[in-house]
């Protein structure tokens, strides 16, 4: 087998930043690392890219091992390649972020990895550069959510306006005026009101809505109307304006 002479070999890994929403808070899924170094410490779900598979295929395999699911929204985030990021040997990691509805997938999490959901404001100390991965993923999620119906991947098919408000407040770490948020959201014309109500939080209840996918595709800019500081948020991780 031919090779490139004089070149040092390195390992390639894939790490998954998995965001979930439980109807009230947005959370991050972490596992306890099962081997040294940092055995027992909190970590993102990851693993080495195996012979015969791409980094994308590896990330989907890793997510499937943890959640038991295929078809979850996943997007490549960044390649982390600082030489000493792994204390054992040179390892380059391709990071991905995924979005899931916690209530839909909670029962399918594998017990093998001691997975646990953490509120974004209560994330424990993470191994290596995993905290940097999480922060970059959150920033990416913020500016992409202002352009695309990305956050609806975190919601059930039908949802209430209070649920959607809690989700956006969690992503942008801000507080919205309830009445103003509702008014601006409904003015987009992108939601279809249902007859059914969610009465789990109050006797009066809140109507369920679904996203009008076709109308959204024609008028996605409507969502910019209620995103706080859109000029600031619509920038990529380098500070340049987003081209999405």
Q: Is the pLDDT of residue 41 over 50?
A: yes
Q: Are 165 and 176 in contact (CB under 8 A)?
A: yes
In the predicted model, what is the mean pLDDT of residues 108-132?
88
Model confidence band, residue 88 (pLDDT cutoffs 50, 70, 90): very high
Integer Cα distance of 72 and 52 in angstroms:
22
Q: Which helix (H) or strand (E) holds 196?
A: strand 191-198
The pTM of this model reads 0.85
Higher pLDDT, 112 or 100: 100
Mean residue pLDDT of the chain comes to 85
Token pair, residue 84, equals 């000493």
The domain locations on the chain are: 11-145, 150-233
Looking at residue 231, its pLDDT comes to: 54
Q: Is the pLDDT of residue 243 over 50?
A: no
Please tell me the class of the 11-145 domain: alpha beta
Same topology, domains 11-145 and 150-233? Answer is: no
Q: Answer whether CATH 1.10.10.10 is correct for domain 150-233.
A: yes
């Amino acid at each position: 087998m031919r090779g490139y002479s004089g070149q040092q070999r390195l390992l390639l890994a894939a790490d998954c930043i998995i965001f979930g929403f439980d109807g009230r808070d947005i959370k991050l899924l972490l596992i306890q690392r099962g081997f040294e170094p940092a055995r027992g410490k909190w970590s993102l779900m990851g693993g080495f890219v195996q012979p015969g598979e791409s980094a994308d295929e590896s990330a989907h395999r890793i997510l499937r091992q943890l959640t038991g699911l295929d078809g979850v929204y996943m997007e490549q985030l960044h390649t982390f390649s600082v030489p000493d990021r792994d204390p054992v040997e040179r390892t380059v990691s391709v990071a991905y972020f995924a979005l899931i509805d916690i209530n839909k997938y909670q029962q399918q999490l594998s017990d093998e990895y001691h997975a646990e959901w953490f509120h974004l404001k209560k994330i424990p100390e993470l191994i290596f550069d995993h905290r940097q991965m999480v922060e970059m993923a959150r920033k990416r999620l913020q500016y992409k959510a202002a352009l695309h119906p990305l956050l609806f991947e975190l919601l059930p098919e039908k949802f209430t306006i209070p649920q959607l408000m809690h989700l956006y407040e969690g992503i942008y770490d801000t507080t919205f005026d309830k009445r103003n948020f509702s008014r601006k959201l409904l003015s987009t014309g992108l939601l279809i009101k249902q007859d059914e109500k969610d009465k789990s939080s109050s006797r009066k209840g809140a109507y369920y809505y679904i996203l009008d996918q076709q109308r959204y595709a024609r008028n996605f800019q409507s969502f910019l109307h209620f995103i706080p500081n859109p000029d600031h948020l619509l920038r990529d991780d380098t500070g340049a304006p987003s081209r999405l």
